[in-house]
Amino acid sequence: MVKPIEIVILAAGVGSRMRSEKPKVLQTLGGVPLISHLLETAQDLNPVKIHLVVGRHASDIKNRIGDRIDINWVIQEKPKGTGNALAQVVPHLFLESRLLVLLGDAPLVKRETMEALLSENSDLVVLTTKVSNPTGYGRIVREEGKLSEIVEEKDTSSSQRLINEINTGVMAINSAKVGAWVNKITDDNTQKEHLLTDMVKIACKEKALVSSIEVSDSSEVQGVNTFSQLANMERVLQKNKAEKLMETGVQIMDPTRIDIRGTLIAGKGVVLDINCIFEGKVVLGDNVKIGPNCVISDSRLDSGSVLKANSVAEGAEIGKNCSVGPFARLRPGALLGDDVSIGNFVEVKKSIFGVGAKASHLAYVGDSEVGAGANIGAGTITCNYDGANKSKTKIGKNAFIGSNSSLVAPVSVGDEATVGAGSTITKDVKDGELAVERSSQRNVSGWMRPNKKD
């Protein structure tokens, strides 16, 4: 009979070595809190309950991830060690379940690894790994090849310090055994804490079935205590994400220079240049090309579109075969139809561009509707804000807006209409009309240019 799964995540640590006001499990990795990575993987296992053990930062953690109904919040009033933390969970456990213990600051444990632990036919199974430098970790001590105890760094003998197989802190236990075992854990150690690692020795003394599983890639189970370790973990996460994308056919010019801080869904033939950042949910259609140094947040680019170097797209929807950039900025609400061209130093906010419309350089288009085929010249701005309210500008199909024009909203320019260069338009322009607003030019003969004073 398959036992139901329960998961406990130990997340009461404060992260004192980071010297941060933010609790350790809320430090961000890939754009989301450490704890969120574990919760996402844990949910994939369909547990009957997830127990989250928190300490003095409980309210901060609840506010950040939400007071979710699938989480049983367990408070560890005083930081007395991992054994004491698990003891707080015992009254909430189903005795017939299989309990998976995870650490809140070790978020990269894979689902496959968790499933292997849970399926192991032992009363207690410990996840281990081997490292070249085991300093700071609990050592795995074996007798005739069998796991007999875990000894923390501060309590090791000189010979035990040479052991390079370490404890990861992750284990699976038959819940019926947990209560009795944690009650036998004492603080008779250098740290004067109730350590969960002592459970191994207790279980072995009771002739329980104790085993271990070794994970070959130690980066999967590394924990975070410092910002340096967090930075290293970030690169591990990004490397994993980049490899998955490349396996699906995405070409990444340099996998070490990409940051995905959310979800990136990419079609066939996608090319990503260096130093690109993807935040929130980003969807890239087939044959999309992203130039170097771009930032894309919560946006969609349909097939064949190109985002050129040093451009930003935030909350934007870009149609097929569009060209954006270089140095363009699409702000929330920018909706580009197919074959639209947005050039260098053009900013678009809360505006719709029809099929084939263009704003090729040095323009600001905000709170506007731009018709299909319209052409907006260099230096053009839509004056959408009067200091109190924002108003709308409408530019018709195939309209032509000359360079250095100001369209003072609310205003509309009709289909096939033309605005002469350097005009300030405050009145509606009808279909096919030419609107020109300029002061008269005056040339002064004999004018003396100013000279620099000595």
Q: Are 336 and 325 in contact (CB under 8 A)?
A: no
DSSP states of 13-65: ---GGGT-SS-GGGSEETTEEHHHHHHHHHHHT--SEEEEEE-TTHHHHHHHH
Lowest mean pLDDT among 15-24, 97-106, 225-234, 285-294: 15-24
Q: 3-state class of 155 per DSSP?
A: helix
Joined together, the tokens standing for residue 438 give: 């300029």
CB atoms within 10 A of CB 48: 12
State the catalytic residues: 361
Residues 70 and 49: their CA atoms lie apart, in Å, by 7
Q: 3-state class of 287 per DSSP?
A: coil
Q: Is the peptide bond before 450 cis (omega within 30 degrees of 0)?
A: no
Q: What is the mean pLDDT of the chain?
A: 95
Residue 436 has pLDDT above 80, yes or no: yes
Torsion on CA atoms 134, 137, 142, 145, rounded to nearest 10 = -50
- For residue 236, which phi and psi values (nearest 5 degrees)? -65, -45
Structure confidence at residue 26 as a pLDDT band (50, 70, 90): very high
CA R_g for the chain: 31
Distance between alpha carbon 270 and the CA centroid of its chain, in Å? 20
Residues 83 and 76: their CA atoms lie apart, in Å, by 11
pLDDT of residue 453: 84
Residue with tokens 């054994």: 83
> Which residue pairs from 214-218 have beta carbons closer than 8 angstroms and sit at least 24 positions apart in sequence?
214/127, 214/128, 214/129, 214/130, 214/165, 215/113, 215/127, 215/128, 215/129, 215/168, 216/129, 217/129, 218/129, 218/130, 218/131
Residue 52 backbone zone (phi > 0: left; psi -120 to 50: alpha; other: beta): beta
Question: Residues 247-283: pLDDT tens digits?
Answer: 999 999 999 999 999 999 999 999 999 999 999 999 9
Alpha helices in 45-197 (DSSP H): 58-65, 82-89, 111-119, 175-183
Residue 1 has pLDDT above 80, yes or no: no
pLDDT of residue 2: 79
Residue 181 has pLDDT above 80, yes or no: yes
Joined together, the tokens standing for residue 27 give: 């430090």
Domains and CATH numbers, the chain: 5-221 (3.90.550.10), 243-435 (2.160.10.10)
Question: Residues 40-67: pLDDT tens digits?
Answer: 999 999 999 999 999 989 999 999 988 7
Residue 454 has pLDDT above 80, yes or no: no
Q: Rounded mean pLDDT of 106-119?
A: 96
199 Cβ contact partners less than 8 Å away, ≥ 6 residues apart: 83, 124, 171, 173, 181, 182, 185
pLDDT of residue 430: 98
Residues 192 and 285: their CA atoms lie apart, in Å, by 57
Alpha helices in 138-296 (DSSP H): 175-183, 198-205, 227-247
Largest CA distance in the chain: 109
Q: Rounded mean pLDDT of 223-235?
A: 94
